[in-house]
């Protein structure tokens, strides 16, 4: 891996703001992003990336190759939960394993957004259909995780809550917003889109930096709860994303030669959901401990992906 690529990513302003957020918790600062502001910024990021993806998609032809890429994304999001459940069930129990399977099989929209910013810095355009693929990959792993718990658990009182959780997975606000923005971006003309371009493009990196500052604060507060389980969560939260990302970075080369597609597929496979999945798990698996899977996804996997993961996956798609 090129050291220069790693150093460039480590000096990314968005990443440095994430570190600042964690540092503020360590020194017990009262730095805090208001909850309403944080929610607005997260909605803005999803809206912006969806709208820009729709605009890009409107200039592309949806061919058979694109449909194969969609199927590849769905295969990723239904396969990863299977092995994550198997390796974590004995260590953490059935319900926690189901939550981890859903989290690591699903995608991280914020990691995806950060990866798009990474490509923009390198002046590499991405394809709009990758936004649609990202949105489609969010729900299947949640459903698989719940089904695995149903198969392995002796309890029978989760049937109704599972139904609610599956409905939530399919109509989750982040999924609905990004798909809706994608559809709107696809429909509007270039002239109409030009009117909101300063909002969707020029402000994007600034809002991303503030959002990652907020995530850094959240991460710092939740990280310590992991150590009650020993070192296993830390090790798994590092190994799982790197194995997933590196594997898909290489395997995706058999489907497409496009560097941006392969890089984003690697990011989607490596990411872990800490927004949609916790909301669904709270409904369906109240026995699962959020002090385990949320800090693993947000406190370990997310920073691993945006520090060493992105340069590593980019190196692999460029050279293999």
What band does 158 get if pLDDT is binned at 50, 70 and 90? low
pLDDT value at position 1? 47
Higher pLDDT, 139 or 210: 210
pLDDT value at position 47? 86
Q: What angle is formed at CA 227 by the lines to CA 269 and CA 20, rounded to 5 degrees?
A: 70
Q: Which domains does the chain have, with CATH numbers?
A: 3-319 (1.20.1530.20)
Percentage of the chain modeled with pLDDT above 90: 37
Place of tokens 């459903």: 143
The overall average pLDDT reported for the chain is: 85
Tell me how far apart the alpha carbons of residues 287 and 100 are, in angstroms, rounded to a whole number. 13
117 pLDDT higher than 90: no
Higher pLDDT, 257 or 146: 257
Question: Are 280 and 169 in contact, with CB atoms under 8 Å apart?
Answer: yes
What band does 155 get if pLDDT is binned at 50, 70 and 90? low
pLDDT value at position 115? 92
Tell me how far apart the alpha carbons of residues 19 and 119 are, in angstroms, rounded to a whole number. 21
Higher pLDDT, 153 or 212: 212
What does the DSSP 8-state code read for residue 117?
Answer: H
Tell me how far apart the alpha carbons of residues 162 and 57 are, in angstroms, rounded to a whole number. 34
Helices (H) and strands (E) in the chain, counts: 19, 0
Sequence-separated (6 or more) residues with CB below 8 Å from residue 240: 84, 104, 272, 301
Residues in the chain: 320
pLDDT value at position 172? 66
Question: Are 298 and 241 in contact, with CB atoms under 8 Å apart?
Answer: no
44 pLDDT higher than 90: no
Higher pLDDT, 158 or 136: 136
């Amino acid at each position: 891996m090129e050291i220069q690529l790693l150093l460039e990513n480590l000096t990314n302003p968005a990443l440095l703001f994430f570190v600042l957020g964690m540092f503020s918790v360590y020194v017990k600062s009262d730095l805090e992003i208001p909850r309403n502001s944080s929610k607005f910024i997260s909605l803005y990021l999803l809206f912006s990336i969806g709208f820009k993806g729709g605009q890009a998609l409107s200039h592309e032809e949806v061919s058979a190759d694109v449909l194969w890429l969609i199927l590849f994304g769905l295969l990723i999001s239904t396969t990863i939960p299977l092995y994550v459940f198997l390796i974590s069930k004995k260590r953490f129990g059935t319900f926690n394993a189901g939550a981890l399977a859903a989290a690591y099989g699903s995608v991280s929209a914020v990691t995806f957004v950060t990866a798009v910013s990474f490509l923009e810095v390198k002046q590499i355009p991405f394809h709009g259909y990758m936004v649609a693929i990202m949105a489609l990959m969010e729900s299947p792993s949640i459903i698989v995780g719940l089904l695995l718990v149903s198969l392995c658990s002796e309890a029978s009182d989760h049937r109704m809550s599972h139904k609610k959780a599956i409905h939530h997975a399919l109509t989750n606000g982040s999924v609905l917003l990004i798909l809706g923005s994608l559809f709107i971006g696809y429909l509007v003309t270039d002239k109409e889109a030009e009117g909101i371009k300063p909002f969707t493009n020029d402000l994007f990196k600034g809002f991303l930096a503030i959002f990652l500052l907020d995530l850094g604060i959240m991460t710092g507060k939740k990280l310590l709860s992991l150590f009650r389980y020993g070192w296993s969560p830390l090790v798994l939260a590092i190994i799982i994303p790197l194995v997933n990302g590196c594997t898909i970075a290489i395997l995706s080369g058999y489907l497409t030669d496009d560097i941006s597609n392969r890089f984003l597929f690697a990011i989607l496979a490596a990411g872990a959901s800490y927004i949609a999945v916790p909301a669904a798990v709270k409904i369906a698996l109240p026995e699962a401990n959020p002090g385990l899977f949320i800090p693993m996804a947000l406190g370990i996997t997310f920073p691993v992906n945006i520090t060493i993961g992105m340069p590593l996956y980019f190196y692999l798609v460029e050279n293999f």
